[in-house]
Structure formats: structure tokens, C-alpha cells
A = this chain, B = another copy of it.
Amino acid sequence: MTGPRKARRATVHDVAAAAGVSRGTVNRVLNGGYVSSDARAAIEAAIAQVGYVPNRAASQLARQRSQAVGFLALEPHSLLLEDPNIGSIMLGANAVLSLADHQMVSLVIDSDRDMQRVGRYLSGGFVDGAIIVSARSHDPITRLIAEIRLPATFVGHPPDLDRSIPFVGIDNIGSARAVTQRLIETGRRRIGMVAAALDRDSGADRLTGFKQALGDRFDPALVVDVPLYDYAYGVKGMRALLDREPTLDGVFAASDAVAAGALETLREAGRRVPEDVGLVGFDDSSWAMRTQPSLSTVHQPAREIGRHAAESVLRQIAGDPVEPSVLLDSPVVWRRSA
């Protein structure tokens, strides 16, 4: 219970002394190399005895790499708290980084101050690469990364992408088209959309897909848009839509959270789903299974996305060629809401 607040940590030097060999030899048993079994045994004993733990900062400085990869989510806090996919993306990415013996460090950016500090962290050589979720290319971090040529890949398609940074994502347009298409096929005639986050590529693309599916029958009056992928905005958007077009019988909500809000509004308005109105969402997030009825939606292969992003970064770090973009399959899953 007593003792120095911070004991001096044993170094390679101490191990070498304890084992009666040179530091070079110690390093060889640590990092692989030719060592006699006598020496190896002595050194391993010494390591245990003095309680040696390597100092990564020193190693990083000498090697000029950190064996760490940053994971950044660039978004108002809401992302971290609300986004159903981000956790899975992290886990997917971590799984492959872990296998490659890289430490994933996730950095939260929640203020300008954070932005600055993280910038310094990244440029400080603390990570060999980075995975960036939902960046826009005017983000300071994005510029910084391009500038310092840090191996990085985006998750999601930044709108005006810096072509030098690869990305992995899904085909929002195609999936939105597909999900709308089925709404049409199941006989809905007046189909509206609660679009969201049109300032992001994902939001804009989902609207584009919706338009494409409807073709000539597309009616701009049947689209309302809200700023965020969010339950409360789903409520708001659906109310507006219902005001404009009380006879509507199909709705594409830009995300499951939005769909959940829309569902609540429809219920309040006395519309049954799916009997009176067919409703589809996007994301296949935890919302989708929790609503009553469960939501038909587009599945995002979040885990896979994370894996691919990590692989892409690792390849860049290794200096291997990478695909500038990969789009993963995001199939429509039909449940009960449409």
C-alpha cells in the first residue's frame, strides 16, 4: 500500500545487466533474431525478475512508427450517441487491426479545441494511419491528413472527395431506388419521402434514388426534408408530409430513426402501418426491430465496412496498392412495415 508514487520502470538496460548480456541481445529476444538458448533463458528470467515492460514511446521514436491507427468520427456528438452503425464499424475495424497487431485508438472530436488537439495528435506521429467516419473534404482534419500524407480511408463517401484518399461505403442511390421500387411494386400509389441531411452525400443520394425509382411519377410536393437523421425530425417531417398530402399511402424515410418518428406520427393520425400506409427506412439499425411493426429497411453491412476500411489503411501503411473506392452490398430487408 505504501511505496513510491511512481516506481522507476525497468529498461532494456536493466534486463541486460540482470542477465549479464548486452542490450543488443536483449532486444533480439524481444523482437526476434538469433539468440542462443542459454542467453534467451537468462534474459527471459531477467525480464520477469525486474518486471520489464517495453516503452512504446521510445520504440515508436526509434522505429518511426506507432503500430496504431486512429478512428475518428467527425460529427456532432449525436453521432457517437445515436448512430447505430458506428459501434459496429469500430468493432469491425478493430478486429482486423487487432489481428495485424495494431492498436486502434478512437478519438472523439466534440469541439474546435478537440479538432486542434486531434490534429496535433495525428501529425505527431502517434498513429500510422486513420479511419475517418463521415468527413467532408472541407473539414480541417481532412485537409490536414491530405497534407501530411497520413495513410487514411474514409467511411462513407465524402461529397467533394479528395481523390487521393480512398473510401468504403454503400450505394445509397441504388439502395434507395430499390427500396422505393418495392414500395411501388406492392401497390402504393402516392409515395412520399421524409428526406434528411441533404447536406451530406448519404442524404442527398437517398433522395436521388427515390427520384430515380419514381421517374415520371415523382412529385416534388411529396418530399419534405429535415436537417438530421433523427426521431424527432421524423415526427416533424411526417406531420408536414401528411398535411400536404393526406391521401398518401407510402413513405420512404431517410433512416430508421426518421422512420420511427414517422411511424409514431402516422399512428397518432390514425393511419395503420402497413395496412393504410407502407413505410420503409434505411440503415437496419436497432430501431428497425424495435418499432411496432418492425421496419422494412436497407441493411448497412457496418461490420464489413469497418473491416474493409481497416484493411485499406493497413495496405496503405504497408505501401501496397489500394482500391480508391469500394462499395459494399446493402440489401433491402423486408419486414412488416411495408
On chain B, the residues within 8 Å of A164 by CB distance are 1
CB contact list, A58-74 vs B, under 8 A: 58-61, 66, 68
Q: B residues within 8 A CB of A98? A: 110-111, 113-114, 117
Residues A87 and B94 in contact in the complex (CB < 8 Å), given A108-B104, A124-B56:
no
The A121-152 residues at the B interface (CB cut-off 8 A) are: 121, 123-126, 148-149
A57 touches B54 (CB 8 A): no
Within 8 A of B (CB), among A76-125: 77, 80-82, 87-88, 90-91, 94-95, 98-99, 101, 103-108, 110-111, 113-114, 117-118, 120-121, 123-125
- Which residues of B are found within 8 Å of A120, using beta-carbon distances? 53-54, 56
Shortest distance from the beta carbon of A99 to any chain B beta carbon, whole Å = 8
Q: Is B113 within 8 A of A56, CB to CB?
A: no
Residues of B within 8 A of A56 (CB): 120-121, 124-126
Shortest Cβ distance from A83 into chain B, in angstroms? 9
Highest count of chain B CB atoms <10 Å: which of A54, A108, A124 = A108
> What residue of chain B has the Cβ atom nearest to residue A292's Cβ?
B292
> Of the candidates B95, B105, B260, which one forms a contact with A110 in the assembled complex, judged by CB atoms under 8 Å apart?
B95
Contact B55–A124 (Cβ < 8 Å): yes
Binary interface encoding of chain A residues 37-57 relative to chain B, with 1 for a CB under 8 A from any of its CBs, else 0: 000000000000000011111
Q: Which among B88, B95, B110, B292 is the interface contact of A94 at CB below 8 angstroms?
A: B110
In the complex, A221 has a CB within 8 A of chain B: no
Chain B residues within an 8 Å CB radius of A106: 105-108
- Closest B residue to A90 by CB, please name it: B108
Contact status B61-A124, CB under 8 Å: no
Q: Which residues of B contact A149 (CB under 8 A)?
A: 3, 5-7
A231 CB–B CB distance under 8 Å: yes
Q: 19 pairs across A/B with beta carbons < 8 Å?
A: A5-B319, A9-B125, A54-B124, A55-B125, A56-B124, A57-B125, A61-B61, A68-B121, A94-B108, A94-B114, A95-B110, A95-B111, A98-B117, A103-B107, A103-B118, A104-B107, A106-B106, A106-B108, A260-B290
Interface residues of A (CB under 8 A from B): 1, 3, 5-7, 9, 53-61, 66, 68, 77, 80-82, 87-88, 90-91, 94-95, 98-99, 101, 103-108, 110-111, 113-114, 117-118, 120-121, 123-126, 148-149, 164, 231, 260, 286, 290, 292, 319
With A53-B148, A103-B107 known, 7 other A-B pairs at CB within 8 A are: A56-B121, A56-B125, A57-B66, A82-B286, A98-B113, A99-B113, A103-B117
